[in-house]
Amino acid sequence: MESADLPPPGMGRARSPGALAGIKVVDLTRVLGGPYCTMVLSDHGAEVIKIEPPQGDEVRDWGPPFLGDDASYFIGVNRNKRSMGLDLGKPEGKAVLLKLLEDADVLVENFKPGSMEKWGLGYEADLAPKFPALIHCRVSGFGAHGPLGGLPGYDAILQAMTGLMSINGDPTTGPMRMGTPIVDIGTGLYSVIAILMALHERSKSGLGQYCDMTLHDCGMALLHPQAANFFLNGKRPMPMGNPHPNLAPYEKYATRTGEIFIASGNNGQWKKLCEALGKPELGPDPRFADNADRLTNRAAMIAELAALLADKDGHEFCLGLLRQGLPAGPVLPIDVSMAAEHTAAREMVTELDGYRGLGTPIKLSRTPGGTRRKPPRYGEHGEEVLREHGFSADDIAKLKSGGVLYTTRRR
């Protein structure tokens, strides 16, 4: 971008073509894990063409709230993309996809394993021979092999099956689903990493490859430190609520102005915390002198800290601790965190022509990413994309009349 074309600062908008400018992604994904992956790529300059089935990405209906016809769930993970409605079940739809793949770098899809192969679009047999430089990333629940191979996967189900749910909550609640779809989002992020690795390797070999990404594997990969503890001590990790299984103090406390969270990563931080609380003698107290001691005597330590914190201004106290390099922060609801001055300074709320969303957390100095386009309406760019790929007006009209190209959702 030329300097005259740069958007105003503070809005989370892109100020450069992006680190992935020139990379073309054909996106066949729906719901969350795949779309989150392709949004991250698009934030940083990749051209993403989102091909939706005739009925559309179902999360367009996952509301309220809605903006026009689209639910917040769709809006939150689909900015910077162009949308085309296409029936891949018809030979003409498959032909359109193959045309789009001729100069594509990446294909991302999250169909049930075996679906692409059934349509003659499998990686090894069909796509790799035609497009040897193509990187094909599949996001699925369990992968294609193993006892659960080919079965569908959903975030909450994988939170349950991988053990993530078993370590959330506390002894009174039992296992609880995490409030954010961490498996879907984690899989999206791991998929971005896989794609970037494959692109890097392709720069040396000239060849694409298949990225086999599953909710199961990515959910398992998030089990730290509980899995590491289990591998070492053989004990089943249990839900603990806010406390940390390996560190103390590491929990929530009530103050005069609201709840705060305090963490301590080493004995030096513990001693400084005790000094800040006006009770330095707790630092070398034999019950609390080392982290192992504090874990053993956690209940007594919590009682001491709770009494000292009850009358504090929690926000001011946390800010003072942070300025000393001590981990602490107020427990904020989402509306308050969104309105925080630091959120604005970091451009973590982005806006463009009535669209508001979370900004990109990936901050690059020379090639910053950000918002370029609002999330697309269904089929908004289908004709535009086809024209760019050499389809004539007659070709496009035939695809529309033949029920292959859709500009409105089939209900």
Catalytic residues: 184
Peptide bond preceding 129 in cis form (omega within 30 of 0): no
Please tell me the distance from the alpha carbon of residue 375 to that of residue 48, in angstroms, as a whole number: 12
Please tell me the distance from the alpha carbon of residue 42 to that of residue 108, in angstroms, as a whole number: 13
Beta bridge pairs of residue 263: 250
| Secondary structure E strands in 66-147 | 66-67, 70-71, 81-86, 106-109, 135-140
Please tell me the distance from the alpha carbon of residue 31 to that of residue 60, in angstroms, as a whole number: 9
**Residue of 193, 325, 305, 177 whose CA lies nearest to 252:** 305
Instruction: Give the C-alpha distances (Å, rounded to integers) separating 271 from 259, 266, 267.
Output: 22, 9, 6
Sheet strand arrangement including 258-263 = 250-255, 258-263, 328-330
CA 2 to chain CA centroid, Å, is 30
Please tell me the distance from the alpha carbon of residue 138 to that of residue 28, in angstroms, as a whole number: 10
Beta bridge pairs of residue 47: 24
Instruction: Give the C-alpha distances (Å, rounded to integers) separating 315 from 197, 225, 308, 406.
Output: 42, 29, 15, 53
